[in-house]
Copies of this chain bind each other. A is one copy, B any other.
């Protein structure tokens, strides 16, 4: 059975209106090769992460929270935070995407049906569904209650299941809860919105699936009301919840990073269905703010542990980077929606940056260990007793929002590879893949992200539409080589893409991947005098584990002007390409914490004598810690010139 004859099913975020610039392909149009970076990740997710998450939902009592309400568990009390139901819903979403991705083998249909039956049993007659709140507590605390947030994840799981399997069992449950929310918070109802945005994007998706206008209206109403101060404050100010100003008026990202990005993704969905130009302008301001002042070089966001927040512009400490896994996932989702809206490659660039750095860094090679916060530096001797700064990836968390969020994203990765518009096809992410485009199967062959050569083959009949290929912002356009059906084509980049006019049979794209030293804006005080090493989209790090005996990571500095080069894989690190650089080791342990500079103002006073010159081997950041716990850093100091 060829792909072309399979009935098309939808993936995440499929706009209904014709406003967007690009439209997603059907969910099953792209098949990632299991040997590719992204395809291996999907296999790991299926084989290891999802079973692990299901087991942890049991072990943590999260599913028992539902069972005890209908007498099927003797658990004495609710366990976990008040938003813990959403972990189940995100997992159901992951299972739904897996059912669509691998329709011939559905090992979790049984558990899915059991869970849905359980949810239906727990659900109140009026549609309300929550394992902690009852009676007067229902919708009583919009600031911290997370009830609409939980509803949002329930809806997303239901939409995914309906799209990939056609089954409406979960959808029935979700709609009853959503209808309750419409009755309570819709037009003419309470002027309330959730302290944690998420329901906005979910309601738009529910509208897309069902055609029911009231869901879109409620999403829009949630967006329009936000900023009126309904949420109050404490212990954090209104900006923590993005409640300090109306969405249309905001100029910069603020507060809790996941909340901010989920909100932006929901606003983008509203724009996709309404075309609201003011909201789009606000989204573009927010994007520029995040990208211009408040994103780590890995794509992570959120620089404060205390409130999981963006912090001030240019406040980007690598050691205390919070860079929550969920924030990177939320950025990815926001970026995808901006890409659909605008067609601009910078949004796909950001999807790529998070996909090869901030997001995979969260997961162990075995797929069953996770990071909640993703620092860009781990100091020698760090206290690893906090789950927000552990020495190693952990199997689960008191707040376990990240692992099931990973599961649902990775299970749907292939959906983000390509899009269409009226004139043709756009390729955004490069991976070994087969892409079904109506009657044509486009094969993509590449070793990306380890090699920038990408070969596309549309078969003997060729592709009779235009093909747009993303030229990443990290690439040196002058060095990019494009060969179309045997002829070199000039690389004219517009909005981040080079367009190849159809018909076309075979395209060879070469994106050179030299190792580059990346410097930060001078206002990023935390990494002054440092560079990060990047090759293609992959950011590298140096670990204590890779240093010779006696060399301490903190005392190593790169030699200015020395060469950088790609190098073979490093044992114990699951990555194809490492990176080499020349460094010096200057033991500094005997230096006092502060010392006057005898020479007056100098950038690097009284350097220690060089103890050792060495070749540093850097490994991909997303694989740090594979060789065990220890010091790590992305930003490497540059030694003064001799």
Contacts and interface: CB of A to CB of B under 8 A. Distances in A.
A26 B474 CA distance: 70
A232 interface: no
Nearest to A291: B593
Interface string A590-612: 01111111011111111010000
Contact of A560 (B236, B382, B527, B601): B601
A555 B525 CA distance: 11
Contact of A523 (B236, B315, B588, B594): B588
A601 B558 contact: yes
Interface string A601-642: 111111010000000000000000000000000010111110
A594 B521 contact: yes
A528 B529 contact: yes
Interface in A365-387: 377, 379, 381-383, 385-386
Given A317-B320, A592-B521, A593-B293, A381 B554 contact: no
A586 interface: yes
A605 B519 contact: yes
Contact of A318 (B318, B381, B520, B525): B525
Nearest to A588: B522
Chain A: interface secondary structure? loop
Contact of A603 (B382, B386, B523, B560): B560
B521 A382 contact: no
Contacts of A474: 596
Nearest to A385: B237
A561 B603 CA distance: 10
Contacts of A588: 521-523
Nearest to A386: B237
Contact of A593 (B292, B531, B601, B604): B292
Q: In which size bucket is the chain A interface? A: 35 or more
A297 B638 contact: no
Interface string A284-296: 0000000111010
Interface stretch (A261-269, A275-283, A306-314): A306-314
Contacts of A608: 522
Contact of A520 (B292, B305, B517, B594): B594
Given A305-B306, A597-B518, A603-B529, A320 B315 contact: yes
Count chain B CB atoms within 10 A of each CB in A559, A591, A593 and give the residue with the most: A593
Contact of A581 (B291, B383, B601): B601
Contacts of A602: 517, 519, 531, 560-561, 638
B379 A314 contact: yes
A250 interface: no
A407 to B, nearest CB: 26
A564 to B, nearest CB: 7
Interface string A544-581: 00000000001100111111100000000000000001
B520 A554 contact: no
A564 B522 contact: no
A315 B379 contact: yes
Contacts of A555: 522-523
A384 B136 CA distance: 35
A516 interface: yes
A320 B291 contact: no
Interface string A310-336: 011111011110000000000000000
Given A306-B305, A381-B313, A561-B601, A591 B521 contact: yes
A225 interface: no
A324 to B, nearest CB: 14
Given A317-B320, A519-B604, A521-B593, 8 more contacts: A237-B383, A239-B383, A305-B305, A315-B320, A523-B588, A531-B597, A560-B602, A603-B639
Interface of A: 236-239, 254, 291-293, 295, 297, 304-306, 311-315, 317-320, 377, 379, 381-383, 385-386, 474, 516-532, 534, 554-555, 558-564, 581, 586, 588, 591-597, 599-606, 608, 635, 637-641
30 contacts: A237-B385, A239-B383, A239-B385, A292-B592, A292-B593, A293-B593, A305-B305, A312-B379, A312-B383, A315-B319, A518-B596, A519-B602, A519-B604, A520-B593, A521-B591, A521-B594, A522-B555, A523-B588, A525-B530, A528-B529, A528-B637, A531-B597, A531-B601, A531-B602, A560-B601, A560-B603, A561-B599, A564-B600, A603-B603, A603-B638
Q: Which 8 A-B pairs have the closest CB atoms?
A: A237-B385, A529-B529, A516-B596, A603-B638, A306-B306, A305-B306, A528-B529, A519-B605
